[in-house]
Amino acid sequence: MKPTFKLTTAAILVAASLAACNGDSKVATETAAVKSVSQVLTAKDAEKFLASTEKELVQLNLEGSRAAWINSNFITEDTSSLAAAADQKSTEAGVRFAMAAAKFDHVEVSADQRRKLNILKQSLVMPAPQDSVKSAELAKIGAELGSMYGKGSYTTKAGETLSLGQMTAKMASSRDYNELLEMWQGWRTISPDMKPLYIRQAELGNEGAQGLGYKDLGAMWRSNYDMPADEFAKELDRLWGQVKPLYDDLHCYVRSELGETYGEDKVPQDQPIPAHLLGNMWAQSWGNIYDLVAPENADPGYDVTEQLAANNYDEIKMVKGAETFFTSLGFDALPETFWQRSLFTKPADRDVVCHASAWDLDAKDDIRIKMCIQKTGEEFSVIHHELGHNFYQRAYQNQPVYYQNSANDGFHEAIGDTIALSVTPKYLKEIGLIDTIPDESKDIGLLMKMALEKIAFIPFGLMVDQWRWKVYSGEVTPENYNTAWWELREKYQGVAAPIDRDSDAFDPGAKYHVPGGVPYSRYFLAHIQQFEFHKALCEISGNTDPIHRCSIYNNKDAGKALNTVLEMGSSKPWQEAYKVLTGSEQMNATAITDYFAPLHTWLKEKNQGKQCGF
């Protein structure tokens, strides 16, 4: 969900000291003033402030969520205006809460009060300047960017007008080099007009972050993880270093196979892979080209998309199937309002934002998903992911509003994917989608499919915010937006634009999370965390299969352990929640290398004699 100001979604949270992030004289003066005021404030004042703010937050969240939901499902000038107004109101309230919370920086309060106060200071993803005109401008820009993305379409050379969903489907299935190139270029015609708005949004967001004591908006985002901002950046690099050898071997193998398909003149074996050939509009996951790179004799004998069709799965039955996984673990079924109020298919009569998202409108039981579901195996996994958000939201509903969020934002993304890792052949047989479980000789194919989705994504998950952090710090200037974007994509992914790109093309805007203002490091974290969570839950369940064959479906012990973490919300530092499930306070990507060990051995054998690297 893209909220206005909502403590109950994965768009926010966890804190750092306000004044310590910026050493300029203005901040020093303001800090001295705050300290002077704080001398007459007490813990009792903090308790009163937090209690009254909580009531206001609940109402703001409800109003903002409703406006955002309507705008995403009925995109018009009027709904965009209403969403912008709600966004402005919430943003201004968020700034007000943050500044008021800062007055207690030097007041002796309880640990619980301090955490809540810190959360308020870190509660806005896109903080507005303390100026009502600029605040209104920032809200309007956010609504306009969202509408531009949601309404985006492309008219082909043949005169057919295609939505993003239709183009995405073609990217997934076509093997025509030129058609893929047209789809890739076509979607990117929507983003150049976003650039002036994005430049201004970055300026205003930086001004808002600086008003809260941060060097820039990127530093504010990185301060969101119960550790110093610079340490968080180093932690991401450390985790990437653990995964990179596996990614490099996957990249080498895939590039070689694509060279055989399209010719080495189109896929040079010593260069990055052309971005339009990887089966995905953003080349962020490569599962759709499995047929081009599949190992010999590794076909498990079934295709989930085909099996869904053969078993008469429509969109609702797909969602019901994902719900059953959670209820098998001991979670209560979704409320009836979920089925009445969610959006499952794209309406024929209006524009909607089709990007899959999970919503919690009232911090209680009004939970929903919004998807334009396509009846594919990939979408079946996405539904598990989105319901993971919903079950998480409901698990922490009894926490104070300040703690109605995940331990860190990667947790929210990881939970649904942790469940999806249990969608193994064993599970598919249990629910009747397949008749027999393939033997272990077919594991390489299944692991390859998983790696094309999960391992291929990890460097993309890292570089999106790497780019934005450089934008917000000023290291990357507007004239270099596009150049820097592709430099990072080549550096981390070994993926390149298939044609020369104009400096004003603004290709980052063609990815939802950039115009949507949604931080992206959470997705990188989620891809690390989900394998650790899966490994831990499998151990709790008493699993004796190899980790990649484990399914926790129908295991109440695993469900109980998972629920313990979910119910904590953000009431404790994420490291404590992590330890509850994994036994360690530090993330460790070796769970990924353990999971994919058989595939990595196979890749190394296949890559012998090949020129790897990019």
Radius of gyration for the alpha carbons in the chain, expressed in angstroms and rounded: 24
Pair 531, 420: CB distance under 8 Å:
no
Coil, strand, or helix at residue 63?
helix
Q: Which residues contact 533 (CB under 8 A, 6 or more apart)?
A: 414, 415, 418, 562, 581, 582
Pair 369, 342: CB distance under 8 Å:
yes
CA pair distance 61, 344, nearest whole angstrom: 23
CA pair distance 578, 559, nearest whole angstrom: 16
Q: Which residue numbers are catalytic?
A: 355-356, 385-386, 389, 413, 513, 523
Q: Which residues contact 55 (CB under 8 A, 6 or more apart)?
A: none
273-274/495-496 β-pairing: parallel
Residue 599 backbone dihedrals phi, psi, to 5 degrees: -70, -40
Question: Which DSSP string do the residues of 208-219 spell out, in sequence order?
Answer: HHHHTT-SSHHH
Long-range CB contacts (within 8 A, 24+) of 540-548: 545/426, 546/440, 546/443, 546/598, 547/591, 547/594, 547/595, 548/424, 548/443, 548/446, 548/447, 548/450, 548/595, 548/596, 548/598
305: which 2 tokens? 């998309």
496, β-bridge pairs: 274
CA pair distance 87, 4, nearest whole angstrom: 5
CA pair distance 284, 381, nearest whole angstrom: 16
Please report, to the nearest 10 degrees, the dihedral formed by the alpha carbons of residues 276, 282, 288, 293 taken in order: 60
Question: Which DSSP string do the residues of 244-288 spell out, in sequence order?
Answer: HHHHHHHHHHHHHHHHHHH-TTTS-TTSPEEGGGSSSTTSS--GG
Residue-wise burial string across 426-465, b where 16 or more C-beta atoms lie within 10 A, e elsewhere: ebbbeeebbeebbeeebbbbbbbbbbbbbbbbbbbbbbbb
Coil, strand, or helix at residue 388?
helix
* Cα end-to-end span (Å), the chain: 36
367, β-bridge pairs: 360
Pair 316, 344: CB distance under 8 Å:
yes
CA pair distance 387, 332, nearest whole angstrom: 12
448: which 2 tokens? 């390859």
111: which 2 tokens? 């640990």
Q: Give 442's DSSP letter.
A: G
HSE at residue 186, side-chain half, CA atoms within 13 A, is: 26
CA pair distance 222, 226, nearest whole angstrom: 10
